[in-house]
Structure 1
Amino acid sequence: MTELPGTRSLWLDTAPAPDRTGTPLPSEVDVAVLGGGIAGLTTAYRLARAGRSVLVLEAGRLAAGVSGHTTAKVSTQHGLKYATLAKSKGTEAAAMYAHSQTSALEWIAAASADLGIDCGFTRADSFVYTTKPETVESLEREAEAAAEAGLPATFGTDVDLDVPAIGAVKFTAQAHFHPRRWLLGLAGEIERAGGTIVEGVRAEGVDELGGTTVRTSSGDVRAGEVVVATHYPMLDRGLFFARLDPVRDLVVAGPVEGNRMPDGMFLDADTHHSVRGYLNDGVPYAVAGGEHYRVGDSVDVESRYERLASWASSHAGVRRVTHRWSAHDLSTLDSVPYVGRYHPASRHLWVATGFGQWGMTGGTAAGLLLSDLLTGRDNPAASLYDPNRFDLRSAITTVENNVTVAKFLVGDHFSAVRKPAALDEIAPGEAKVTRDGGEFVAAYRDPDGELHAVGAHCTHLGCLVAFNNAEKTWDCPCHGSRFGLDGSVIQGPAVRALRRKQER
């Protein structure tokens, strides 16, 4: 493999978009949708078509966040999901989950055709395979549970990938596409239906008393209903930060040897490496993912990219990596997304989050459900996805997750105090979280020798950030917020930037 390129998503690189940063902010709307990813834009499109006045508020650029950094598989096969669901929630719940995800897949298929959105929507079979004898039995159980849930699932051994697979669950008639082209197409349809889309304005809070008001970086907006689809919910009142586990998956893409593009979508049940094909301007590409880690863990992300690139070369025929990026995923306590009322007392505040690694169908299913709930249509999946559901197993997981958070909160402070580093001793290309005088500082000296120093406490709940050496960001290990070298917010739940040290 040749040297890896800088981090840049293939989807962002191949789908230019109009600039909506200068769009005036309306003072009042029927529905304000916070977040311009797949869940937010699907919700907004459906509500705009239903006659609601809709505002989509995006802090960055449309489909340039989580939805623009995915492998873009549009599949109801979500790893080994259905056997676990059937065991923990019952066969009816597993069937309801399967039906909602299938409805999302087929809605994208029909809407992209009806609206004429050229997003490369392509049908393909999907496989979860194993090379380990001890995993075969779990794949057999998964195939049985998925078939019982109404999905086109079978167990076999035939996997058209250069791996020694000894068993696989196959789902037929799944799909993949170009996610940003799909979402930019939806955005155009929202505007044609009378909706407003504003980029470059961050939602900073929502007041629910005396009418619902969204506080933004450019002023207030009154809204009859507010949908929080910011990936990680930016309001703490629902305690989602205690009920979501943030992880990052790495992705590499490039042309394949002999123009032999993978004919299907493949996921290793044990290593979680995955691959799918994509035709990039007529050139067959493979898009490979894996090497996931918890956001903010002290890991060598650059080395993980190298391992993934090596796997993609050996097993998917990638001859050179032209693009690499990372996907940000949130998992819920019971592996079912949270979609519905933000908290038990809310009447006009809604949320969609926790799609795990399956946001293309998961986010679409959330948009379909939320638009039904907001327009008074019955949706039988509402109770399954209810964000305020509770069971004892989830309570135990919540405690375990927050013990992990406490370890980061205490341990990282101790490490920074025990091993302080003077800022002027930080070498080019090196990053440190250290104590400087009376404050903790996150400092990075770039290859040209310039020091970039910001406050090291995440502005969400105060954990110390950690350096991501591949993307040159400061990431919070507690709840997944991410910041640029200048302290700017890249990923929530934080809404305020890290303070630059020179501003003291």
Structure 2
Amino acid sequence: QFHPVKFLVPLLDEIIAGGGEIYEQTRAITCKDANEIEMENGTVLSAEKVVIASHFPFNDFNGFYFAKLAINRSYGIAAEVTKPISDGMYISAEKPTRSLRSLPDGVLLIGGDGHPTGKSSVDTQTHYENLAAFGQEHFGLTDILHHWSAQDMTTLDKMPYIGEMTKRTPNILVATGFNKWGMAAGAIAGKVLSDAILENENPYARLFDPTRPKLKLKDMQQFTKKNLAVGKDLLVSKAKRPDKTPEELAVDEGGLLSFNGQKLGGYRDKKGKLHLVKTTCTHLGCGLNWNDAERSWDCPCHGSRFSYEGAVLNGPAVKPLERVESGE
């Protein structure tokens, strides 16, 4: 129904044609103010205005965004079916939520089975199996062509944060918390933020203002509930004990291991090589949980994710996990 790459590439062309420059694979790790943006390679940049549009703000301590965003994962499959649906997009009214989109040539996109990042009650692979079972029951699913997952942030009052990150840092702007409406909210964020930079009036600026002054009682209750849960997740994740030794780990299997008296995260790849990391999140120190479907280490506190080699996959963390030599 909508092709985001075809939408975005012309915008990139416009930026370049207007004298803008695009740098990929260049991670920013701190932004104390617009005059001090530190990059992973040690370079320090400065600007009149900075827009933090990195999905989860990488400088989330500025305004305590880690305490104001809930992070969830959801899943999708593209499957061949014998009972295709009418062209369009659909979402279920009942739980568990299922979303459907028609694709060409009898292919159906099925999405759903979401849960808070790092806190699935079942093995991650089970979420894909649930979507497949739904497709088989209702649409005659015959083959799964692709599968993937996504990560989304939701604010306390369900409205995105778009505008000045804090009142103390008017030259740092942010766009986050799109609550799964990223393409629509991203487009309006572009208008709100560009008007803010150009000092133009925008009728939606107040609605999305990240510093909006009054939280409703239910928003405060949500804030309290979320952050009490984070405290519990921190304790529970730290208390988890290893359940295997490296020798017991099968090929393409991961989990918490006991290694030389340490609790480590381990994964044995398809060639039999063992990869060991310390499973303390580099964001705020929570313990990490193994994600068997994506072969990643996921944080139940604030949603950071790391590859089995320790590289950052999802923020707010910006630093990789510490790796440990296995000696194999």
**TM-score, normalized by length of structure 2?**
0.91
What amino acid is the match of 2:115? Y
More helix by share: 1
1:307 deviates by: 1.1
Aligned pairs for 1:307-386 within 5 A = 307-386=130-209
Alpha-carbon distance in 1 for matches of 2:162, 2:261: 43
Contact 2:254 2:295 in 1 (8 A): no
Give the structure 1 partner of residue 313 of structure 2: 490
Alpha-carbon distance in 1 for matches of 2:99, 2:152: 15
C-alpha distance after superposition, 1:180-216 (max 9, x if no partner): 23222322222122211111110111131xx522211
Aligned pairs for 1:451-470 within 5 A = 451-470=274-293
SS at match of 2:108: strand
SS at match of 1:335: coil
C-alpha distance after superposition, 1:164-189 (max 9, x if no partner): xxxxxxxxxxxx31222322232222
**TM-score, normalized by length of structure 1?**
0.61
Percentage of matched positions with identical amino acids: 37
1:433 deviates by: 2.2
C-alpha distance after superposition, 1:250-288 (max 9, x if no partner): 000134437x45322110122210001233xxx343211
Determine if the alignment matches structure 1 residue 289 to structure 2 residue 111: yes
What amino acid is the match of 2:284? L
Determine if the alignment matches structure 1 residue 250 to structure 2 residue 75: yes
SS at match of 2:136: helix
SS at match of 1:196: coil
Determine if the alignment matches structure 1 residue 207 to structure 2 residue 29: no
1:346 deviates by: 1.1
Q: Which runs of 5+ in 1 are unaligned?
A: 1-175
Contact 1:285 1:318 in 2 (8 A): no
RMSD: 2.0
Alpha-carbon distance in 2 for matches of 1:380, 1:225: 21
What amino acid is the match of 2:119? D
Give the structure 1 partner of residue 18 of structure 2: 193
Contact 2:82 2:106 in 1 (8 A): no
What amino acid is the match of 1:331? T
Q: Which runs of 5+ in 2 are unaligned?
A: none
Alpha-carbon distance in 2 for matches of 1:189, 1:278: 30
1:295 deviates by: 0.6
Aligned pairs for 1:50-61 within 5 A = none
Alpha-carbon distance in 2 for matches of 1:422, 1:320: 37
1:222 deviates by: 1.4
How many residues are treated as equivalent by the alignment? 321
1:294 deviates by: 1.0
Give the structure 2 partner of residue 123 of structure 1: none
Give the structure 1 partner of residue 2 of structure 2: 177
Picking from 204, 208, 223, the partner of 2:47 is 223
Structure with more relative contact order (C-alpha pairs < 8 Å, separation 6 or more): 1
Alpha-carbon distance in 2 for matches of 1:207, 1:414: 34
Alpha-carbon distance in 1 for matches of 2:317, 2:70: 15
